[in-house]
Amino acid sequence: MNFIETFGVSLEAILSNKVRSGLTMLGVIIGVMAVILLVSIGEGARVYITKELTGLGTNLLIITPGKTTTRGGFHPPSAGTVRKLSYDDSLALRRRAWLLTDAVPIVLGTGKIKYQNLGRDTMVIGTTPEFQRVRNLFVGIGNFVSQGDVDSKSKVVVLGTTVKEELFGEQSALGKVVMVSDARYRVVGVMQKKGTSLGWDIDDVVFIPVTSGQELFDTDGLFEILASTTRAEDVDPAIAQIKDILIKRHAHKEDFTIQTQGAMLSTMDTILGVLTAVLGGIAGISLLVGGIGIMNIMLVSVRERTREIGIRKALGARNRDIMAQFMIEAMTLSGAGGIIGIITGVGLALIIPVFIDVLPTSVSLWSILMAFSFSAAVGVFFGVYPARKAALQDPIQALRYE
Amino acid sequence: MHRFIMIELSNITKTYRMGEVDITVLSGISLKVQSGELIAIMGPSGSGKSTLMNIIGCLDRPTSGAYHFESREISTLSDDELAAVRNSKIGFVFQTFNLLPRFSALKNVEVPLIYSGVPARLRRERAVPVLEQVGLSDRMHHKPTELSGGQQQRVAIARALVNNPPLLLADEPTGNLDSRSGSEVLDILTGLNRQGVTIMIVTHDKDVAARCKRIINLKDGQIINDQVIV
């Protein structure tokens, strides 16, 4: 009895009870669909975040005050006897750390920006001209903060497009005077539009010279220093250089932390990879439940067709013929369910981002292959027991079965 | 026609274990059947008729004793080898017809051919003439539920014959039929016997037995009478 033959017999049996077969398949369909969908969402987040972070430059080094032993992620500057990072530190790095292309000081705070009767609370970043290059954010109209502005503590501001549109609408903002936390600042430029990244509006920000920022926030320290190297292989020697220079300046104490974008990236990648695996695993449980559904139905089917098994055996069917018949039936149910599940899962994964834009998805081939082979394996695994039970029926008992 | 000993049973016993007790169904049956015979096996309920037929039909194995079918020792064969013997050497006709309800008459007749590896296109070629032989050429595409009892039994006979087995075993083939259908079925069976098929019929019915050439009576698992009717 060849495969096509057996397949025909199995298909016939499946089609003779359409509702039951459909419901049985539904379990597998939902399972496979859930695996693909959830893995796509997890993968989507991973791909998206990787892309966003890579867009900021992988040769980026972030120097923050305070010593932490953890690698990657954000953490607030720890309190205590820590010496702050100063603007002079960034100047020293720029002068002496020749592996660095840039060393950009950053002060960060929130402030209220007002123009006439309109106001907006936004993020205020104090920095230097090189910020543009390091962060890949460039001025669109007018000029960015210049070195002269930094040196002379000028009260000039560059607006993010969101802030510009809030305060000025269609009007030109260049040359206008706005209030930044009760100090008068002249608008010298408007940034290019960048959009939203990871739910954060990059354009909802204003830039001022770092020295003006220190005055505004009443601090002589920095939030962080952003540095970058030209080549990826310079990152590690550059870290050594930075340490060497800063430790000497900080009374021989390593009271700062250097993070690399690469390290943050791989940390994020690991976290999101685990997240994806967990999501997939949870969905896998529903696939397992679907498999149990198949076994359940197959057991009922074997019992219902006990007499048929007896007749077939009397007519010359070998145990393996009966086994094959029921195995193929189980595998057809799970295989068809798997295919339908893949179609709906991929379909949903492609449709979801259209309606929910904060939920990027990425359909990966491996999740499809995994879900399908898993569903086929479920068919085999949960089909074996009922099929064996069918194959080992005693023909005489089976023929007498009512 | 050349005659040979088709079946030879030597001191066959069959015991079933029911919980703690052993029940002996057959105790020392010895029997020879020549090719071309038409035999009725009679006896009261529980005399072991069906068990004997199951053993002869290779559906069951004896507890002890030897069974030679066409000079081949059967009781030591594996399940698969027994299945092959059933498929090619033995045709079964049951009291309750035992057709597959979802299949047409034609498909039912084709089933034994599936298991002997006949390709799909040849199966039909072989099944159709056999159905014509039992007078059902106009009912080939009907399902069993659309056929009368007599017609269903004739489909079952066609199914038993499709592989041209030398032996046909019938267990109460007329038991569920009215007398007219029953006699039609018997006509077919006796006709087949005239063509050389060896037939053994288990029956309660004296009229059925009367049309056979040899009657074996069983009681309590033993042959109590074995007479050839001339």
pLDDT score, position A79: 46
**Do A204 and A287 have their domain in common?**
no
Partner residue opposite A316 with nearest CB, options B54, B87, B102:
B87
The alpha carbon of residue A311 is apart from the nearest alpha carbon of chain B, in Å, by 7
- The position carrying tokens 């990152």 is A235
Q: Let me know if B137 is exposed, middle or buried by CB neighbors in 10 A (0-12, 13-18, 19+).
A: exposed
Cβ atoms within 10 Å of A253's Cβ, excluding its own: 13
In a domain, residue A352? The reply is yes
Q: Does B94 touch chain A (CB under 8 A)?
A: yes
Q: Does B78 touch chain A (CB under 8 A)?
A: no
Q: Is A97 helix (H, G, I), strand (E, B) or coil?
A: coil
The alpha carbon of residue B215 is apart from the nearest alpha carbon of chain A, in Å, by 25
Distance CA A309, CA A295 (A): 18
Indicate yes or no: CB of A318 within 8 angstroms of CB of B115: yes
Indicate yes or no: CB of B100 within 8 angstroms of CB of A308: yes
Distance CA B215, CA B41 (A): 6
pLDDT score, position B51: 92
Q: Which two tokens stand for residue B24?
A: 């002996």
In a domain, residue A308? The reply is yes
**Do A358 and A297 have their domain in common?**
yes
* A331-382 confidence digits (pLDDT tens): 888 989 999 999 999 999 888 888 877 777 888 888 888 888 888 888 888 8
pLDDT score, position B97: 93
Q: Does A397 touch chain B (CB under 8 A)?
A: no
Final residue of a structural domain among A230, A252, A277: A230
In a domain, residue A89? The reply is no
- Among chain A residues, the shortest Cα distance to B120 is held by A5
In a domain, residue A302? The reply is yes
**Length of chain B in residues, anyone?**
230
Indicate yes or no: CB of A1 within 8 angstroms of CB of B114: yes
Distance CA B160, CA A353 (A): 63
Q: Does A320 touch chain B (CB under 8 A)?
A: yes
Q: Does A369 touch chain B (CB under 8 A)?
A: no
pLDDT tens digits, chain B, 230 residues: what are they? 578 999 999 999 999 888 888 899 999 999 999 999 999 999 998 899 999 999 999 999 999 999 999 999 988 899 999 999 999 999 999 999 999 998 999 999 999 999 998 988 899 999 999 999 999 999 999 999 999 999 999 999 999 999 999 999 999 999 899 999 999 999 999 999 999 999 999 998 898 999 999 999 999 999 999 999 87
The alpha carbon of residue B163 is apart from the nearest alpha carbon of chain A, in Å, by 10
In a domain, residue A121? The reply is yes
Q: Which two tokens stand for residue B130?
A: 């056999």
pLDDT tens digits, chain A, 402 residues: what are they? 577 777 887 888 888 889 989 999 999 999 899 988 888 888 888 888 887 777 666 688 889 888 765 544 455 554 445 678 899 999 999 888 888 888 999 999 999 999 988 888 999 999 999 998 888 888 998 999 999 999 999 999 999 999 999 898 888 888 999 999 888 999 999 999 887 766 678 889 999 999 999 999 998 889 999 998 888 788 888 899 899 899 888 888 888 888 888 788 888 888 888 888 888 888 888 888 888 888 999 999 999 989 999 999 999 999 999 999 999 999 888 989 999 999 999 999 888 888 877 777 888 888 888 888 888 888 888 899 999 999 998 998 898 887
Query: Contacts of residue B116 in chain A, CB cutoff 8 Å?
Result: 316
Phi, psi (deg, nearest 5) at residue A25: -65, -35
Indicate yes or no: CB of B87 within 8 angstroms of CB of A315: yes
**Do A278 and A371 have their domain in common?**
yes
Sign of the torsion formed by the C-alpha atoms of B29, B64, B47 and B6: negative
Final residue of a structural domain among A184, A204, A230: A230
Phi, psi (deg, nearest 5) at residue B117: 80, 20
- Among chain A residues, the shortest Cα distance to B85 is held by A316
Could you tell me how far CA A360 lies from the centroid of its own chain? 8
Q: Does B194 touch chain A (CB under 8 A)?
A: no
**Do A219 and A109 have their domain in common?**
yes
pLDDT score, position B185: 93
Phi, psi (deg, nearest 5) at residue A82: -80, 135
Could you tell me how far CA A259 lies from the centroid of its own chain? 20
Q: Is A317 helix (H, G, I), strand (E, B) or coil?
A: coil
Structure pTM? 0.72
Q: Are A90 and A103 in contact (CB under 8 A)?
A: yes
C-alpha torsion angle, residues A349, A354, A355, A361 (rounded to 10): 40
C-alpha torsion angle, residues B87, B91, B92, B93 (rounded to 10): 150
Final residue of a structural domain among A230, A255, A277: A230
Phi, psi (deg, nearest 5) at residue A394: -75, 125
In a domain, residue A239? The reply is no
pLDDT score, position A57: 65
CATH fold group of domain B36-59+79-228: Rossmann fold (3.40.50)
User: Buried b / exposed e across B31-56, counting CB within 10 Å, b at 16+?
Assistant: bebebbbbbbbbbeeebbbbbbbbbb
Q: Does A315 touch chain B (CB under 8 A)?
A: yes
- Among chain B residues, the shortest Cα distance to A17 is held by B102
Indicate yes or no: CB of B83 within 8 angstroms of CB of A311: no
**Do A114 and A226 have their domain in common?**
yes
DSSP letters, A161-219, are: HHHHHHHHTTS--TT-EEEETTEEEEEEEEEPP--EETTEETTSEEEEEHHHHHHHTT-
The alpha carbon of residue A370 is apart from the nearest alpha carbon of chain B, in Å, by 36
In a domain, residue A295? The reply is yes
- Among chain B residues, the shortest Cα distance to A320 is held by B80
Closest by alpha carbon to A276, among A71, A35, A73? A35
Closest by alpha carbon to A189, among A202, A170, A200, A173? A173
In a domain, residue A257? The reply is no
Partner residue opposite B116 with nearest CB, options A12, A310, A316:
A316
- Indicate the number of domains in chain A: 2
Query: Contacts of residue A1 in chain B, CB cutoff 8 Å?
Result: 114-115, 117
Distance CA A85, CA A242 (A): 12
- Among chain B residues, the shortest Cα distance to A2 is held by B117
**Do A201 and A293 have their domain in common?**
no
The alpha carbon of residue B80 is apart from the nearest alpha carbon of chain A, in Å, by 5
**Do A121 and A20 have their domain in common?**
no
pLDDT score, position A402: 74
C-alpha torsion angle, residues A55, A57, A61, A66 (rounded to 10): -10
C-alpha distance from residue B12 to each of A285, A397, B67 (Å): 55, 21, 8
The alpha carbon of residue A304 is apart from the nearest alpha carbon of chain B, in Å, by 12
Q: Between chain A and chain B, how many beta carbons pairs sit less than 8 Å apart?
A: 60
Q: Helices (H), strands (E): how many in chain A?
A: 13, 12
Closest by alpha carbon to A149, among A181, A164, A167, A127? A127
pLDDT score, position A198: 62
Distance CA A65, CA A80 (A): 11
Q: Are A261 and A62 in contact (CB under 8 A)?
A: yes
pLDDT score, position A159: 93
pLDDT score, position A259: 86
pLDDT score, position A77: 52
Indicate yes or no: CB of A315 within 8 angstroms of CB of B84: no
Residues linked to residue A60 through DSSP beta bridges, in sequence order: A228
**Do A280 and A337 have their domain in common?**
yes
Q: Residue A207: which domain range? A: 102-230
Query: Contacts of residue A12 in chain B, CB cutoff 8 Å?
Result: 102
**Do A375 and A285 have their domain in common?**
yes
Q: Which two tokens stand for residue A208?
A: 């001022």
pLDDT score, position B14: 94
Sign of the torsion formed by the C-alpha atoms of B220, B223, B225 and B226: positive
Q: Does B77 touch chain A (CB under 8 A)?
A: no
The alpha carbon of residue A335 is apart from the nearest alpha carbon of chain B, in Å, by 24
Partner residue opposite A396 with nearest CB, options B60, B86, B100:
B60
